[in-house]
Amino acid sequence: MSRPAISIRPARLDDARAICDIYNQGIEDRVATLETRLRSAEEQHDWLEARDERHPVLVAEDEDRVVGWGSLNVFNSRSAYDHVTEFSIYVARSSRGAGVGSALLDKLMEAARAIGYHKMVLAAFHWNTSGIALYERAGFRHVGVYREQGLLDGRWVDTVVMEKVF
């Protein structure tokens, strides 16, 4: 029997707990964020509620269970950057390597184009090799490295900077 396809849909406020749990896994696992403080479901609910039409949040579902999420985020508040978006993708530990990140990235790129963004950017840890490979397959290119971008677990870490122009 084949596995049902991952479905992607806009996040709802009642997804806040699942989004929070997945984000906290990303924080704990040190794979995708310089954030070190775990979030509460209430904080994630407020974050989700504050989003606007230019900065959507999508969730990936597998058999009606949220297994990942992604968002288009403000890159820079200056109006000259209105057509550039930074994005985030987080996948539940139990679903990593199952195509969830790829499905989310495809839909985020589709949403970014529909909204009118000209470019998507990201910063990733060099040790997140599966994430970097995903972005490369989607046509993102390396544009540099932010040296000592953040202090994580008592050590300075670099981030790889990538972009995709539509």
| 163 within some domain | no
- Does residue 94 register a pLDDT over 60? yes
Token reading at 98:
């199952």
- Does residue 144 register a pLDDT over 60? yes
Token match 């950017």: residue?
Answer: 121
- Does residue 165 register a pLDDT over 50? yes
- Does residue 135 register a pLDDT over 80? yes
Count of structural domains within the chain: 1
> Per residue in 104-121, pLDDT tens?
999 999 999 999 999 999
Q: How far from 65 is each of 14, 19, 68, 92, 108, CA to CA, in Å?
A: 12, 11, 9, 11, 19
Residue 110's domain comprises 7-121
Token match 């969730």: residue?
Answer: 59
| CATH code where residue 14 lies | 3.40.630.30
Instruction: Determine the 3-state secondary structure of 94 from DSSP.
Output: helix
pLDDT band per the 50, 70, 90 thresholds, residue 25: very high
Mean of per-residue pLDDT scores for the chain: 96
Question: For the chain, how many residues are written?
Answer: 166
